[in-house]
Chains A and B, each alone.
Chain A
Amino acid sequence: MTAELVRGQNHPLSEVRLEIRISAGVPVVAGATLGDEQGTVHGTEWVAHPGAPALPGIEVSRQAAAEHRLAVDLAALPEAVHRLDVFLALPTGTAGPLRFGAVPAPHTAVSGRDGTEIASYTLTGLDTEAAVLALELYRRQGAWKVRALGQGYAAGLAALLADQGLHDAADLAAAVQEAVTDRLARAVPAPSTAFDPHTAPAHDPLAASADPQVTSGPGPAEPTPPYPLRPDDSADASRADQHLRATGPDHQHSGGPVDYTHPRRAHRTPPPPSPTAAPAADGEPAQPVAGDAVGWTMEERLYNQVWGMFEDLARTTAAYRSAVDFADSRLEKELDQLLADPRLRLGTGADDAREVAHARHTQLTDQARAAFDRDLAQLTAEAEVVEPALPPAYARWDNPVWHAYRSPAEPPMALRLGDLHLPESVPLSIPLLVRLPLERGLWIDSGPTPGDDFRADSAELRHLAMETAAALAARLLAVHPPGEFAVQVIDPAGAGSRALLPLTRSGVLGAPPGAGAAGVAQVLESLTRRVDLVQMAMRGGMAEALPADVDTAQQLLIVNDFPHGFDDRAVTRLRYLADEGPAVGVHLLLVADREDATAYGPLLDPLWRSLLRLTPLPDDHLADPWIGHAWTFEPSLVPVGSRVLEEVLAEVARSRTKYR
């Protein structure tokens, strides 16, 4: 049982050999200071840091990494040591963020050597701090305990160390940062925080559910249960804030009755104000503005705004549908009552009463429609200003931003998979944005859509599905900095070569698509090895020890026509990649018709369920997380006749050569 600590809380430690895991969304420096009974750190030799990683009883990583595992042996610490403080700092020598407020909340966990988690603590609410004391292990009457600290320092590591009583804190801080810069290996993919239910949702807007396709052979397809889409928690909360509370940056800092701010620390500065809609005249909706949501960056604000629009559209549609349903059922009831009333069965009274009932029905549905149209108009106006302001990762392929495309320096926080709309909302649709790195694989269904399989024949559907996959892969390649994302393809029968042309011709693929059973085996083998090695390196906290031939870029594996060309061994490998890959930056994009895999029976059900199903043609199988409406998904495709994809991929290939 893990104890989820809050700031200031402590928890007893029953073991002396411990592992402290730290995961942040970006590379951070981790270290530890050893203090005596009074908490004084007597000198730089009492500090474990990347420049001096091993002290008796504690070992830290030599470099900045998004994931750390510190080995602690409390029994091996010098007798004089009564406190061990674990600190985190952002590396200063890189282009990375300089304050913790701009990165995901770091998560720390203390576990025994057998991996059982004893206590965990997420450092939320950080802002301008560049260094933070995360945890303290301390000795009290012979027994060790862990305390969640979360004490941040805006002035950085030097201030943190000075606060620990070190006289030459500035020199030590500089030495630490220098050691990190020297060893700065390019980041192994940012870790997932899947083991923590509190931070996971931020990275996992989409959740698996029962799979829509029917496996029990041919027959009438059942209505498809929708996939639930889970919202980003923060987006949800911030939107809620916006709705009814006075907006202002300070509500983020409202704390409990205990004031945790450090007496010697400068006051926090609020984030730059987001562009807010100008106050409108009474009774008129405010003029929409792009980026009118909370967030540290424009990108985050737009992400939150789009998810806010998604929620608003879901809710206003729920209000409309509920009102119409009510009007319908009331009309039915009133008509039934008329029939049951013997006095009215004859004569004109019945007609009049019926007319009244119908009029009441029309009046209510008209009112509901008016309210819905009002909201829809407002959301449409918002979409009209938001859509052009979107960065490439969020933008449609016909957005001019793609024409001015240049390779980015930073990976994006989310990706547009396609568009969502409801029957009532046409022509308004909402971008479907998912957080990156992808928490789970994608499955583009090349099977016939239940109900209208006459729309496209099987070969055409498979081609469309592969085209959708290629467009997604191209988008992922384009929105990542050169060298940080790679795409590998398995196309056993070569059936996808036409759809893959833009990728193969521009030379952005690392290797030609794997063909035949041998190609399948070879690609899977190399990715399996990569997952295994990176996992080992991360567990040992030695990302720099990876062999030179292991590509540290994130990998997307496109598999066409699964399970064609796969033997049992290959299927097992693929399932391993689907399960273990996302955490170490290997992602799956399956293009498959589930009918093809019926031979496997229910064995592959967990695999299908673990993937987010997308369709090459519009299909209503995705559910929003608030109401559960069935939303129609449309993939984001390059407009017919447009050369934007070729141009973007050419630019990707160019900047890639430069990078090498």
Chain B
Amino acid sequence: MSVNLSKGQAISLEKKDGASLSAVRMGLGWQAAKRRGLFGSRTREIDLDASAVLFAEKQPVDVVFFRHLVSDDGSVRHTGDNLVGGVGQGGDDEAILVDLQRVPVHIDQIVFTVNSFTGQTFQEVQNAFCRLVDETNGQELARYTLAGGGEYTAQIMAKVHRAGSGWTMTAIGTPANGRTFQDLMPAILPHL
């Protein structure tokens, strides 16, 4: 049973039996919006990119994105760039895997973002979602829909942060503009 998150809502990543989660996956899926007209089959390709920024007390330490697929410490891994989206029905087109137990001790927040690399706004994207999955059993923990996509090219999706001995996920869902995560840094900082 997954939770549909609304903006700003936080969920704890502690399991019901009290054990902490060990590995989570941030999945991102989308489809290009169909264009009406004569050449309907010629949908324009949309390249969304998922990124994760690792922070230690509000300082960015490392980033995982399509040019740097594994964080230096090996705890956060990107499964690879997908340039067109829309693989299957509702599957993850890009995914970032986080081994929470291996995250270095000084990293206390990991922020997930989505950018439109090809520059289309979310109006042209269909069925875009971001979800968090318990990687050990494949259970979906939380899902955030890029609903009502507006005139934005990026969104700060969610963050997982240390809380006590475990981790908590907070949905952020703030729209922004930018081609890669670098452009989003000013927009991310208020949410730390």
A residues adjacent to B (C-beta < 8 A) = 240, 243-245, 257, 282, 311-312, 315-316, 318-320, 322-323, 326-327, 330, 364, 367-368, 371, 626-627
Contact between A244 and B77, CB atoms less than 8 A apart:
yes
Chain A CB within 8 A of B75 CB: yes
User: Is the C-beta of B9 less than 8 angstroms from some C-beta in chain A?
Assistant: no
Q: Does B183 contact A (CB under 8 A)?
A: no
Contact B104 A322 (CB under 8 A): yes
- 29 pairs across A/B with beta carbons < 8 Å? A240-B70, A243-B74, A243-B97, A244-B23, A244-B25, A244-B135, A282-B19, A311-B74, A315-B70, A315-B72, A315-B73, A315-B74, A318-B72, A318-B74, A319-B72, A319-B75, A319-B102, A322-B73, A322-B104, A322-B106, A323-B105, A323-B106, A326-B56, A326-B59, A326-B61, A364-B106, A368-B104, A371-B104, A626-B72
**A322 lies within 8 A of B77 (CB):** no
> From residue 97 to 118 of chain B, which have CB atoms closer than 8 A to chain A?
97, 99, 102, 104-106
B136-168 CB mask vs A (1 if < 8 Å, else 0) is 000000000000000000000000000000000
CB contacts (< 8 Å) of A368 on chain B: these are 104-106
B73 & A316 in contact (Cβ 8 Å cutoff): yes
Tell me the minimal C-beta distance from B32 to chain A in angstroms.
17
A469 to chain B, nearest CB (A): 35
| Alpha-carbon distance A508/B64, docked complex (angstroms) | 52
Docked complex Cα distance between A368 and B97 (Å): 22
Q: How far is the CB of B133 from chain A (nearest CB, A)?
A: 11
Tell me the complex Cα distance, A282–B101, Å: 13
Partner of B105, one of A240, A244, A245, A371: A371
Contacting A at CB under 8 A, from B25-41, are 25
Residues of B within 8 A of A (CB): 19, 23, 25, 56-57, 59, 61-62, 70, 72-75, 77, 88, 97, 99, 102, 104-106, 135
In the complex, A243→B104 CA distance in Å?
Answer: 16
Q: How far is the CA of A316 from the CA of B88 in the complex (A)?
A: 36
Contacts of B74 in A (CB 8 A): 243, 311-312, 315-316, 318-319, 626
Q: A326-B57, A364-B105, A368-B106 are in contact. List 14 more A-B contacts (CB 8 A).
A: A244-B97, A245-B135, A257-B88, A282-B19, A311-B74, A315-B72, A315-B74, A316-B73, A319-B104, A326-B56, A326-B59, A368-B104, A368-B105, A626-B74
Which residues on A sit within 8 Å (CB–CB) of B106?
A: 322-323, 326-327, 364, 368
Distance A389 CA – B99 CA, assembled complex (angstroms): 30
A244 contacts B99, C-beta separation under 8 Å: yes
A315, A320, A322 interface centre (most CB from chain B within 10 Å) = A322
- Asked, given contacts A244-B23, A322-B72, A322-B104, whether A330 binds B57 with beta carbons under 8 Å apart, the answer is yes
Chain A, interface SS category: helix
| CB nearest to B103 among chain A residues | A319
Which B residues touch A371, using CB under 8 A? 104-105
- CB closest chain-B residue, reference A327: B106
| Residues in chain B near residue A326, CB distance under 8 A | 56-57, 59, 61, 106
Contacts of A316 in B (CB 8 A): 73-74
> Cβ of A319: which chain B residues have Cβ within 8 Å of it?
72-75, 102, 104
Residue from B19, B70, B105 whose CB has the most chain A CB atoms within 10 Å: B105
- Report the separation of the CA atoms of residues A640 and B23 in the bound assembly, to the nearest whole angstrom: 48
A243, B72: Cβ atoms closer than 8 Å: no
Nearest-neighbour CB distance to chain B for A313, whole angstroms, equals 10
A225 to B59, CA, bound (A): 28
With both chains docked as a complex, state the minimum distance between the C-beta of B14 and any C-beta of chain A, in angstroms: 15
Give A372 Cβ to nearest chain B Cβ, in Å. Answer: 9
B residues in contact with A626, CB < 8 Å: 70, 72, 74
List of B residues within 8 angstroms of A364 by Cβ = 105-106
Structural contact, A627 and B72, CB atoms closer than 8 A: yes
| Alpha-carbon gap, A368 to B107, bound state (A) | 11
Q: For the complex of A and B, list the 5 residue pairs with the smallest distance between their C-beta atoms, beginning with the closest.
A: A315-B74, A319-B73, A319-B104, A318-B72, A367-B105
